[in-house]
Every structure is written in structure tokens, then in C-alpha cells.
Structure 1
């Protein structure tokens, strides 16, 4: 999609650039779907690979973060604001303790 406006000739130039660029998602459709009964693309890998139980690598080896790691990563950008709140005189001890635990998880 080309934005309206701009200098004379820019719209045609932009449309030409976009026509040659691959779009996000690859433009695939039903042709990219694999039937549920298709043979495995990884026949030597156990079905439980990446799961915390069964044969194969566990979640840590597969690079799957724990719920705690995912939460810490989501809260990391909020840490400065949370520290500010924890340092307010009216902040409660639970808030201060939470921020201390979060800082320990972020900074190790």
C-alpha cells in the first residue's frame, strides 16, 4: 500500500519497489499447509522433544523459556518505572519486595 501525497512520480516509484519486494508471511496459502496424516519431517526426533517429560531434549535445551523467564523478559522494560513506584514513601513492603526479586532475576 502506498501512502497518498508526495512529489510527482514518487507514487509510481514506490509501487515499483513494492512490487519487487517479498511480503511478510511469504504470501503462502493452502499450498503451504501440511496434512495431519503426512509423514514426519523429522522421523528421528521423538514426539516429546521439547516437552518437560518423555524422550528427547527438554525445554531448556530446546530454547523454550520457563514461564518465570518469559515474565521477567516482559517486565524488564518496566523496571525503571517499578523502581520509582517502590521508592515512593507510600509504597508498601510487598511492592518493594517484588521489585527486589525482579531486579535479582533481571541482573542475576
Structure 2
């Protein structure tokens, strides 16, 4: 699949909040997930299983989702980016609002990295 095709399908799933399905369908076995170094919420993970665990751990700490929105993807070469806004209550942080850019790199028809800026 091309970056364009992946971004279109990614968007379909993201609009339905099917984030684990995105991982299953598109993440390479050696994918990297990168958050800001000083993030109090997330960390770094490598490998499909590690990235999945990172997501499951965080989702397990969400006690209430007050709102979420994901933009349409913007595609450039082998990258695409989406903006995502979240308003949620997360243990042990309480209610937080995150506005982030999510940058994805595609290689050989798979997502090989995701990097978050917030």
C-alpha cells in the first residue's frame, strides 16, 4: 500500500476510534512509538507488541473520555500527520486536555514509526 492509501484507511479507522485496529492493520513488527522525552503521560516503545502494550496501559488508566477529535491526514512523501485533541480523565493525573500532532512514517507498505508532539 502507498502512504496515501494507508492514510485514507487510517483516517477511516481513526474517525471510529479504532486505534488498536490501526496498529493491527498497519504497524510493522519493528515499529517505534516516540513521545516527548519529558512527557508525564506516555513513553517510548519499540516493536509491535511493545507499542500495543503502551497503548493498552494508557487506555486502562482512562476513567472518562469527555471529548476527542482527529483531523484529516496531511500527506507528504512517506509521512502523514494528523492533529488530535483529547479531553479525558486519566489516573493519576485527573482531567487533562491534550492537543497533539501525530506523525507517521511509512516504509514498504507499513507504518514504521509514530511520533507525538504536544
TM-score of the superposed pair, with normalisation by structure 2 = 0.18
Q: Which has the larger radius of gyration?
A: 1
More helix by share: 1
